Structure 1
Amino acid sequence: MNDMTLQRPAVTVTELPPATRISLRAADRAALAAHGLALPDRIGARIVEGERSVLRLGPDEWLVEAPEEQGAALKARLAGLETRLPLSAVEVSDREITLSLAGPAVLDLLATGCPLDLARLPVGTGTRTIFDTVQVVLTREAEDRFHLTVWRSFAPHVRALLDLAGRELAAGL
């Protein structure tokens, strides 16, 4: 090993533990808020309460995420609201996995497959986008850390691209 070899990777990619994910569709955000479910008002905005987060993906669409052990209570709460309000709450937990991408070159790594200028994405927000040809949801957790949520069936493809790009960045290519 010579002095030019990096001792630490420019970005680490780690699969996060399973989580409960709910795809929530509702036309009346105010009615949900009146029933104690705070939802962000802008597309891309995110509310984090404890270990639960809610990301607004579209005009009437949110992604609700919570630790797996909170899933039953979250699903019961939303099922109760479904009986009183026009909404759809569909659990999509098994469909997706989330990768944590962290390090000083995380923006460069993501730029290898994402067409957005993620340097402009504020910390604490998120977006639905693509990585290579795959739909993903990215949230910016810190200046140098993102969470990338991808459908389980596409995860090997995305992981292989991230690994290749990470090796190239670490090698200075």
Structure 2
Amino acid sequence: MTYEKHQFHASPILIEEIAPGLRLSLRVKPAHRATLARAMGLDLPSRVGARAAAHGAEALCLGPDEWLITAPEGAGLPKAARAVYSDAPHSLVDISDREITLRLSGPAAVDALTTCCPRDVAAMAVGTAARTVFDSATVIVWRDGPAEFRMDVWRSFAPHVRALLAQVETEFHAGL
């Protein structure tokens, strides 16, 4: 697999593909959330869009009983979750190969995202994330800083999203 990093001339946006890691889809009933969180050593926020981090792992609440968890390869989260399955029944699926993550940063990162995203990403608080669409692709947008975002894209939609971002970057460069 190749990783790309693009910055053309004095472009106001940097687009990078982040190296893959462990990505898990978790479904657990709210009554069992705390037990599972303790076992994994990672808080599972209850507010949709909220994130929690510990030991290099990060959990994003996508719904009342749904989380996306990212962690370094080899993290022991699946084993820890399996150990408490009888007390906290859940579904934990490794979806690491399903998506890629792009990092968008720079003074035009918000503008680049809003070209094809109906969500008001400028209004997203730093430290939150949301499932939305970018043109026709379902994505998850993470706001890591005032001008720093991550966007999770299904691998099959990645060429389409990259092409749109390349067009946006070209237009930004032409406007300089």
Same fold (TM over 0.5): yes
Gaps of 5+ in 1: 1-5
Q: Are 1:100 and 2:103 matched, yes or no?
A: yes
Q: Which residue of 1 aligns with 2:142?
A: 139
CA contact (8 A) 1:82 1:88 kept: no
CA contact (8 A) 1:22 1:90 kept: yes
Write the letter of the residue equivalent to 1:121. M
Structure 2 residue aligned with 1:42, among 28, 44, 47? Answer: 47
What SS does the corresponding residue of 1:122 show, helix, strand or coil?
Answer: coil
**RMSD (Å) for aligned C-alpha atoms:** 1.6
CA contact (8 A) 1:123 1:140 kept: yes
Distance of aligned partners of 1:129 and 1:118 in 2 relative to their CA distance in 1, 3 Å threshold: same
Distance 1:78 1:12 in 2: 37
Which moves more between the two structures, 109-118 or 6-15? Answer: 6-15
What is the identity percentage for the equivalent residue pairs of Structure 1 and Structure 2? 47
Distance 1:61 1:96 in 2: 17
Distance 2:37 2:78 in 1: 17
Question: TM-score, normalised to structure 2's length?
Answer: 0.88
Question: TM-score, normalised to structure 1's length?
Answer: 0.90
Gaps of 5+ in 2: 1-7
Q: Which residue of 1 aligns with 2:27?
A: 25
Shift of 1:34: 4.7
Write the letter of the residue equivalent to 1:41. S
Q: Which residue of 1 aligns with 2:165?
A: 162
Distance of aligned partners of 1:7 and 1:154 in 2 relative to their CA distance in 1, 3 Å threshold: closer
What SS does the corresponding residue of 2:81 show, helix, strand or coil?
Answer: helix
